[in-house]
A and B are shown apart, each in its own frame.
Chain A
Amino acid sequence: MKKMTYAEGIREAMRKKMQEDPSVLLFGEDVGKFGGCFGVSAGLWEEFGDDRVRDTPISEGAIVGAAVGSAACGLKPIAELMFVDFLTVGMDQLVNQAAKMRYMFGGKINLPMVLRVPSGGGVGAAAQHSQSLEAWVTHVPGLKVVYPSNAQDAYGLLMTAIDDQNPVVFVENKMLYSAKTDVDENELKPIPLGKARIAKDGTDVSIITYGRQVFDALTAAEALAKEGISAEVLDLRSLYPIDKEAIAQSVGKTHKVVLVSEECKRGAYTGDIAAQIAEEYFYDLDAPIKRVGALNTPVAFATDLESYILPNARDIELAVKSLFD
């Protein structure tokens, strides 16, 4: 076992794929010599040069469009948007073009593109640089959406995403970039999309989550254990395709569900998962489904306000406890 940061996991997957496959290239704002706004691509420009690690103008529509067009013409582009918030600027290219081309064209085109989008709050970046927008992209048929929580998964999921023949939105949590986690070097290999991971076994309640909230859920689970509640933490890893089997198994075992994400709660993807559980596994439940998310406000700047708005381990703990009252 060695320790690797989340950013390194992403970078090493890109490096490996670029070494293996000449059709893989990376472009985006400041991804070149600058190494990316969060340093994720540091060193790749030096290794692969201008052609394969390209700085773009600040033109999000063009960045996503260049990914769509180059993927349609046979490359495997990795496009980085500096913040997921800027996806709004390139949304047509993702939603109307990338997601729909295969379908509109009767299946006669492949679009092997990855759009990397740093997401989430916690860094005092305020409302236009802190959002969690996975509900927007999971809503769109034709997109796959991946959201790793640790270095091993980031590496393995990105390896798979790059080779996927469909557009993949690869959501990265910016608070996690510097988080070091254990990595099994023998297991540094592609991870299939649509397979959840049990981050912690448990018997009394299923905390179903992804991204940064996996760590909050584990913290909550520790606190809950002291009170005799055994919480299972399921890290979805891939939001679409989603591992319904893993959800069903966990719900069937614990009969209680708390869904957690950093999205503002209204319209969050957790709502859709909750609805699926209610529709399909209602009789497995012995308590209402609980959801934990951010407040329904933009993310505020001041540290105290931001922490108040975003969900944390304590919120998860309280949500779980409410099911045992």
Chain B
Amino acid sequence: MKITNEQLKDMYLTMLKIRKFEKNAMDKFAEGKIPGFVHLYIGEEACATGACAALRVDDYITSTHRGHGHIIAKGGDLNYMMAELFGKSDGYCKGKGGSMHIADADKGILGANGIVGAGHNIAIGSGLAIKYRKTDQVCVCFFGDASTNQSTFHEGLNLASVWKLPVVFVCENNGYGISVSQKRHQAITDISVRASAYNMPGITIDGNDLFAVHEAVGEAVERARKGQGPTLIECKTYRWRGHFEGDMTVYRPDGELEAWMKKDPIPRVEKYFIENNVMTQDEINKLNAEVDKMIEEANKFAVNSPAPSLESALEDVYSDIVEEGRVR
């Protein structure tokens, strides 16, 4: 698949945004500014970036509890995202969702999701809507290795294949379901083999290789747009941080993280840029500084955004009912 240098730079910018957004979230969580649970995407940036670069604005994605990367890659606004992490009124969800529930329907982001495996079935609903309306949109369903043990994986892939829905299933196999390694949670190595059970194409790729992800997802998207049905793509990757911030990762063998850090997807792209005259080191540094500024802006936006009013807790349960408040 042909990619222009401009597209490459955009993808690199997206990866930087994700990495720096996540590092900032990590710091702010440690400082106690972000309540709840935060699941970081550091190390997996090539998956969301490569996949979403193959999509249009009017395409859909479903995401996971580790969703910041997907949302940024699909065009999510950093300010609204950061404000939501901080639980502020200007956040994507007015402070009612938090890290795990960011959505942006206008950009086709059908939501991060706190339930492992829930996206498979939402994605088939999206695929059904597309097929029903006979457009050439697609839906990319992101999920982790551990969610492929949920019944929803089987239900979703089965229905997508029997109805030939335009859904691309992108499995980010980061090796762990929380603390349980893939070896201990399923008896297969390559999750893509499960595609054969649904008579759909399945492929395993290096999820830390931006080009490989973009190419594989791009091909699957093209097939889906032509009405040729779903694909299962397994991206082998690794999360650098624990399952959530605060997880001490006692379950990791010594040296495993270090080995994966050597496969960091970001320097791999930088190396390619320099070797192929896409960007110079100076330009790379400049772009990094620009993204640092965006993150600083997002922080400022989040800090300055007012806390949600207590009355707002009663709104948005329904479109047309405001619930009763508490009298104190």
Q: Which residues of A contact B (CB under 8 A)?
A: 25, 51, 56-57, 59, 61-62, 64-75, 77, 92-93, 96-97, 101-110, 141-142, 144, 164-166, 241
Q: Across the interface, name the chain A residue whose C-beta is closest to B124.
A: A66
Report chain B residues within 8 Å CB of A92: 115, 118, 152
Q: B73 at the A/B interface (Cβ < 8 Å)?
A: no
Report the Cα distance A51→B164, complex, angstroms: 13
- Most A-side CB within 10 Å, residue of B126, B152, B321: B126
Partner of B125, one of A65, A107, A141: A65
- B95 to chain A: which residues have CB within 8 Å? 106
Contact A68 B122 (CB under 8 A): yes
* 15 A-B interface contacts by CB (under 8 A): A25-B132, A59-B158, A61-B155, A64-B121, A65-B152, A66-B159, A73-B110, A74-B129, A74-B133, A75-B129, A93-B118, A108-B104, A109-B103, A165-B320, A166-B320
Min CB gap A110→B, angstroms? 7
Q: Is B224 an interface residue (CB 8 A)?
A: no
Chain A min CB distance to B249 (Å): 27
Query: Which of chain A's residues has its CB closest to B160's CB?
Result: A62
**CB-nearest residue of chain A relative to B80?**
A106
Identify the closest chain A residue to B129 (Cβ).
Answer: A73
As a 0/1 sequence over residues 107 to 125 of chain B, the CB contacts with chain A under 8 angstroms (1 = contact) are 0001101110010111111
Q: Measured between C-beta atoms, what is the minimum distance from A76 to chain B in Å?
A: 10
Complex: A241 Cα to B322 Cα, angstroms: 11
Neighbour of B96 across the interface among A57, A61, A75, A106, CB < 8 A: A106
User: Contacts of A51 on B, CB cut-off 8 Å?
Assistant: 132
Q: Is the CB of B319 within 8 A of A97?
A: no
- Nearest chain B CB to A103 CB, angstrom units: 5
Number of interface residues of B (CB under 8 A): 48
Do A104 and B93 touch across chains, with their CB atoms under 8 A apart? yes
Q: Are B105 and A97 in contact (CB under 8 A)?
A: no
What 11 new A-B contacts, CB under 8 Å, besides A69-B129, A97-B113? Answer: A59-B155, A62-B158, A66-B124, A69-B126, A75-B132, A75-B133, A104-B103, A105-B96, A108-B103, A109-B111, A166-B320
Residue in A69, A73, A106 whose CB lies within 8 Å of B93? A106
- In Å, the complex CA distance between A56 and B124 comes to 12
Q: B318, A144: Cβ atoms under 8 Å?
A: yes
A166 to B316, CA, bound (A): 10
Known: A59-B155, A64-B121. A69 touches B128 (CB 8 A): yes
CB distance from B114 to the nearest CB of A (A): 7
Partner of B159, one of A59, A74, A103, A106: A59
In the complex, the chain A residue whose C-beta lies closest to that of B323 is: A141
Docked-complex contact A104 and B158, CB < 8 angstroms: no
Report Cα–Cα, A259/B127, bound state, in Å.
44
Given A61-B151, A73-B60, A165-B319 in contact, is the A56-B159 Cβ separation under 8 Å?
yes
Distance (whole angstroms) from the CB of B175 to the closest CB of chain A: 25
Whose C-beta in chain B lies nearest to the C-beta of A27?
Answer: B128
A108 to chain B: which residues have CB within 8 Å? 92-93, 103-105
Bound complex: CA of A67 vs CA of B129, how far in Å? 9
Task: Please give me the 9 A-B residue pairs with the lowest Cβ-Cβ distance, nearest first.
Answer: A69-B125, A65-B121, A107-B316, A73-B129, A106-B93, A106-B94, A104-B101, A62-B155, A69-B122
1/0 contact trace for B167-182 toward A, CB 8 Å?
A: 0000000000000000
The chain B residue with its CB closest to the CB of A74 is B129
Instruction: List, in ascending order, chain A residues with CB within 8 A of B15's CB.
Output: none
Determine which of B62, B139, B318 lies in contact with A166 in the assembled complex, contact meaning CB atoms within 8 Å.
B318
- What's the least CB distance linking B168 to chain A, in Å? 14
Are the CB atoms of B97 and A105 closer together than 8 Å? yes
Separation of A139 and B115 alpha carbons in the complex (Å): 20
Shortest Cβ distance from residue A239 to the other chain B in the assembled complex, whole angstroms = 14
